[in-house]
Amino acid sequence: MESRLKVTEKACKTALSKTQISSYDYTINPYTGCENGCVYCYANFMRRFSGHLRDRWGSFVDVKVNLLDVLGKELPRKPGGKIWLSSVCDPYQPLEKKYKLSQGVINLVSRNSGFSLSVLTKSSLVLRDLDLLEQMKDRVDVGFTITTFSPKAQRIFEPNASRVSDRIKALRRLNEAGIDTWVFIAPILPYATEEDLECGLRRVAEAGVKRLMTDRYNARGMIIQQTIQAYKQWNAEMDLKKVRDLLWHGDECYRQLDDRIARLWKEVATDATYEAVF
């Protein structure tokens, strides 16, 4: 995959973006595009706004090489608030090993006491920055997205993301370091999210996670084609018409799945919290 990845270094004008997303004041996206290439990714729309309309999502990444210079100037000038790293890319996608932009963001935010930070990733690479996170542990939380606990489904639906077992190990390590963690079961995918669900939630609870959030699949034109193709690859016996109907119109299915996740979570994590965001 890496050999076909188109990487472009670009200058950005701003680093902090104001957001209406509840609980957050700003977002920072160090990269435009995401190597993880999840088939269901709603951030796919970014292709339109970044000159990549003809590129497959997951095949390009624009790197905001001056992000830390810009952010360093912006932070002291802005009223404080909570920053989400990141809303339309994985801040710890593989290129972060080389560019260290997310590491730099954590470093800068740690030196500006009016800001807190929420990191959302699918990558255990976040552990590289554990020492920095520990230094600001009263102002930082780290969330991991998990869509399916099935290794086979994961390889198909989110081909380049860290294995779920590595995400759970990383959650354990972060919790041992006293960092607030959470898990985002999203998007809930009928059948794929249900596979190995009870066992997976138990492992998350045993890793010390106290907060679970969920969101449903957000059906959109091209994304739905890719998602259905992934279902076909995952299980050739699957009734794809039924899958399509559920993805488009499965309100009741999502409600039932969400209830099931909430019930299982309550059983395996007795002192934890649960929130559905849809």
Residues that bind ligand SF4 (CB under 6 A): 34, 36-38, 41, 43, 89-90, 122, 158, 161
Nearer to ligand SF4, 7 or 43 (CB): 43
Q: For residue 33, give the nearest of 70, 75, 1, 71 by alpha carbon.
A: 1
Nearer to ligand SF4, 29 or 181 (CB): 29
Q: Cβ–Cβ contacts within 10 Å for residue 91, how many?
A: 25
Helix pair 251-268, 197-206: axis angle to 10 deg: 40
Q: How far is the CB of 116 from ligand SF4 (least distance, A)?
A: 21
How far apart, in whole angstroms, are the C-alpha atoms of residue 19 and residue 5?
Answer: 29
How far apart, in whole angstroms, are the C-alpha atoms of residue 26 and residue 82?
Answer: 6
Q: Which amino acid is at 33?
A: G
Nearer to ligand SF4, 122 or 203 (CB): 122
Q: Is 215 helix (H, G, I), strand (E, B) or coil?
A: strand
Q: How far is the CB of 182 from ligand SF4 (least distance, A)?
A: 15
Q: How far is the CB of 137 from ligand SF4 (least distance, A)?
A: 24
Q: How far is the CB of 237 from ligand SF4 (least distance, A)?
A: 26
DSSP assignment of 50-75 equals: TT-TTSPTTSEEEEETTHHHHHHHHG
Nearer to ligand SF4, 162 or 269 (CB): 162
Contact 89, 33 (CB under 8 A): yes
Nearer to ligand SF4, 195 or 215 (CB): 215
State both tokens at 21.
């997303």
Q: How far is the CB of 61 from ligand SF4 (least distance, A)?
A: 10
